[in-house]
Amino acid sequence: MPGSERSYGAYLEARRRDGLRRGLTGIEARDARTIRIGGEAYVNFASNDYLALRFHPALINRAEAWAEEHGVGSGASRLVTGNLDLFAGIESKVAALKQKPAALIMASGFQANASVLQALFDRSVLGAEPLVFSDRLNHASIHFGCAASGAREIRYRHGDAPHLGVLLSQYQGDGRPRFILTESVFSMDGDVAPLAEMGRLAREHDAMLIVDDAHATGILGEAGRGLSGEADVVIGTFSKALGGFGAYVACSETLREYLINRCIGLIYSTALPPPVLGAIDAALDLVPSLDAERAHVASLAKRFRLGARVLGYDTGASTTQIVPLIAGSNHAALSLSKRLRDAGIFATAIRPPTVPAGTARLRLAFTAAHTEADIEGLLTALDDRALPRSATA
């Protein structure tokens, strides 16, 4: 056995000791509300399918139809022969939804953040080292894209526009290109960035505002547009409220052309396959009409937040369909997750480095498939008074 193999084993053992070891659980899913694990059914509060579109017949039908008509693969990168005629229509729908001049479809949100940010912060193109002001709780793929570009991130306190303003002022007048990077809805906290204030700061300091709208597109904002109105560049994914897979960048025509020429995640990766594009296309057609679903999800999340707070739980600053229950230690989060599992409810424990040390949590996500009774069941399972004595000890 090579010595490196022993190092990997030792790493895994240390992760286990610290309650940080991750594993893959086999899941059966036949509808948007429940999952089965090892033959047991659970109400699923851990997926990002906020509009429950994953099983929607319109998406399935168009995915099937486009597979029949165009094949199950695209055959090559978009720059070779993979740029099927299907892309143009979808990109104009995305540009219209996001109210931007142009859009570019990419393979996944992770890939988009990793490679679009790398291309945008390219010092050799900008002619100077960029100044990248980034929320400290931004998604791992955002930090990864910054690291890949070699740009140093200047991290401001989470959601703290005044702090961002102070940092921007410190670099006032030094002439380097500036960028502000944030999620609109933070994936592990369910709170919303102060986007209006950030837009104002971006204009004041001649910075490009880049917003990852992954957790707002489809589920928040007028007609499901998301919350990225202030942004110069929006990055988002079709894998959450839009129920499928794939990602987009919404931006100016110039930036779209630049990315086609410079973004390695687009250039060196096979284009999305027709069935996936079919699901995206159908979801984009549906999203504007889903106001009732958006209102239902918002009301479930509100009811849950109120109930959880009454039970003494810390739901952080959530105002959206994502609600954390901040448990503190890794073991506390794991045992809360287990307790819910024993009650037929699935909620994953989220631990560092996904969230800061000491803030391990359950991340609950509400979807259009959940019912009010599901929320009451969840609150009952979280109520210590409802637990058998041995479980509270």
Ligand X SMILES: Cc1ncc(COP(=O)(O)O)c(C=O)c1O
Contact set with ligand X (CB under 6 A): 108-110, 113, 139, 141, 183, 187, 212, 214, 237, 239, 247
CA distance 310 to 376: 13
Kindly state the smallest distance separating residue 108's Cβ from ligand X, in Å. Answer: 4
How is the chain split among helix, strand and coil, in percent rounded to 5? Answer: 45, 15, 40
Closer of 184 and 379 to ligand X (Cβ): 184
Kindly state the smallest distance separating residue 2's Cβ from ligand X, in Å. Answer: 32
**By Cβ distance, which residue is nearest to ligand X?**
109
Closer of 142 and 202 to ligand X (Cβ): 142
Identify whether the C-beta of residue 356 lies closer than 8 Å to the C-beta of residue 330: no
Which of the residues are catalytic? Answer: 48, 139, 183, 187, 212, 215, 240
CA distance 3 to 338: 36
Closer of 116 and 164 to ligand X (Cβ): 116
Closer of 10 and 140 to ligand X (Cβ): 140
233-237 sheet: strands from edge to edge: 102-106, 247-251, 233-237, 207-212, 178-183, 131-135, 153-156
**Residue 39, phi then psi, degrees to nearest 5:** 85, -10
CA distance 3 to 372: 54
Kindly state the smallest distance separating residue 172's Cβ from ligand X, in Å. Answer: 30
Kindly state the smallest distance separating residue 185's Cβ from ligand X, in Å. Answer: 8
Sequence length of the chain is: 393
- Please, which residues bridge with residue 360 across strands? 328
